[in-house]
Amino acid sequence: MRYSAVLVDHFLHPRNAGLMREPDGVGADEYDGCGDLARFYLRVREGLITETRFQTYGCGPTIAAASAASELVIGRAVADLAGLKAREVEEALDGLPDDRKHAADVVAGALRAAALDALGRDARGGTAGGA
């Protein structure tokens, strides 16, 4: 098997897949030239991520990356998430083959976008960072 046991487990049993009602931040990313896309929804309390949901379309590693990342971000500061690196997502999967690195890229991109959305809402007087 060219994929790690962690990746396979996330692919077979994705955590936090699905929609979220009234999220504090939403972000999506699509990989150029590749149909893969991911969308993340964030629940934020006092600047920290308390809950996340994702939807994704793509090959197995993309689904697994989204699932692994959804666990990775719980409890993190939104501001910190806005700078999430693809490498961190890849590490959470115990690595990706060279031709599947984009799975981590698209997931990290979607999470960064969701974090920026949450920060923007907060700056406009939303609830993301406060309450």
- For binding to another protein (CB under 8 A), which residues are involved? 3, 8, 11-12, 14, 17-18, 28, 31-37, 39, 54-60, 62-63, 66, 98-102, 105
Nearer to another protein, 18 or 75 (CB): 18
Q: Closest approach of Cβ 3 to another protein, in Å?
A: 8
The tokens for 110 are: 């979607």
Q: Closest approach of Cβ 86 to another protein, in Å?
A: 12
Look at the alpha carbons of 88, 90, 82, 14 in this order and tell me if their dihedral is positive or negative: negative
Nearer to another protein, 96 or 129 (CB): 96
Q: Closest approach of Cβ 20 to another protein, in Å?
A: 13
